[in-house]
Chain A
Amino acid sequence: MKIFTKRKILVFFLLLVVFFILNIFNTKELFYSLSENIQINLWKVNSNCDLVEDQELISLMAENEELQRENKFLKDSLGLKDYPEVSVISGRIISKDYLFDNILINSGSKDGVKIGFPVVIGNNILIGRVSEVYNNYSRVELLSLKDNLTDASINRVVGLARGKGSEVIALEMFPRDKELKEGDIILTSSLGGNYPSGLVIGKVKNPKKIDNEPFQISEIEKAYNLFSIDRVSILKVTQIFND
């Protein structure tokens, strides 16, 4: 068996040219539209799950907490702050990525989706944000994507939620002197400018203080199960959330 023959080298370069052409034209979207119906039917099969009730409860608790905070703030400032206008685009999950924490949804630039828009389920449970946009489809990076960083806030103390891959998220950079309890709800913070504040990331699970570390760490119990949802909402945000 010869390793390099003229024919093999020719096939290799031919493949390179074909792939280059396929990348220039929008071939991916053609495949997505071909398989959309089959994939939506396959995704529906497993869409009932026990976690849905839990999701609603967490969502309501977070909403309550955010409303209390908003109420206090408005009382204090008598309406001096303008909240960013947010409208919602709905979409359906078509598929997950093969190995990485991404999903494909059937709303795209024609529906007004842009890169960076937050994607939620229910009212306010954050699952990720849009990373790629096609005409009719978008790809969403989940919070659990490896090294994906999200600014988090627990009882008004800021930390960092880091994706670990394989649907695992961890809380990092949480000050050691602040209290961190099992079951505390983790919300987004508008500090990083990526997400509006008050979206649910998850709950604190197994908080740890390591002796020579200046920060506390913990696991995050996600408020969603990817296999229990089939519809998502994309928040069409109109301004950056640094405030």
Chain B
Amino acid sequence: MIKKISKIFLLGLLLYFIFLLEMSNLYTFPFLLVICFLVNFLEDPNSRTGLYIAFFIGLFWDIYSSNYIGLMTLFLLIICYLLKIILSKYVRIFSISWIPKI
């Protein structure tokens, strides 16, 4: 359990620093969002890594914008969850096995 929580925490920390980089004037393309959808699309539908990524990106997005905290977090989580349901129930697609499961 502790190992799992520490993995989630590390993932959050990593995404936080990438997010800060993206908020600077170095990048204008929202590549974290693209990564979020790609991971959710390509990973094993039973894995939750993509959902954690969606949660953290949504949370940071809310904090560093004028949104209410939780708005984009829940929106991204629900979208990614629906994507996973559709992929697991109705679509057969290859999944990338090296995306680590948390």
Contact B30 A99 (CB under 8 A): yes
**Which residue of A is nearest B88, CB measured?**
A1
A31 to B59 alpha-carbon distance, docked (Å)? 11
Q: Which of B63, B66, B73 contacts A31 (CB 8 A)?
A: B63
A27 to B69 alpha-carbon distance, docked (Å)? 9
**Which residue of A is nearest B45, CB measured?**
A1
Contact B24 A39 (CB under 8 A): yes
Q: Which of A1, A16, A20, A96 contacts B85 (CB 8 A)?
A: A1
Contact A19 B69 (CB under 8 A): yes
* Contacts A1-B46, A28-B69, A31-B64; A45 near B25 (Cβ below 8 A): yes
> B10 on the interface (CB 8 Å rule)?
no
* Contacts A1-B85, A97-B65; A16 near B70 (Cβ below 8 A): yes
Contacts of B74 in A (CB 8 A): 15-16, 19
Contact A98 B65 (CB under 8 A): yes
Contact A98 B61 (CB under 8 A): yes
A120 to B22 alpha-carbon distance, docked (Å)? 24
Within 8 A of A (CB), among B46-69: 46, 61, 63-66, 68-69
A-B contact count (CB 8 A): 80
> B14 on the interface (CB 8 Å rule)?
no
* Contacts A31-B64, A39-B20; A46 near B88 (Cβ below 8 A): no
> A100 on the interface (CB 8 Å rule)?
yes
Contact A132 B24 (CB under 8 A): no
> A104 on the interface (CB 8 Å rule)?
yes
**Which residue of B is nearest A96, CB measured?**
B23
* Contacts A15-B70, A27-B69, A28-B69; A46 near B63 (Cβ below 8 A): no
Contact B20 A46 (CB under 8 A): no
A-B contact pairs, 19 of them (CB 8 A): A1-B88, A18-B70, A22-B69, A32-B64, A39-B20, A39-B24, A42-B20, A42-B24, A42-B26, A43-B25, A46-B25, A95-B64, A96-B25, A97-B64, A98-B22, A98-B64, A99-B30, A226-B25, A227-B25
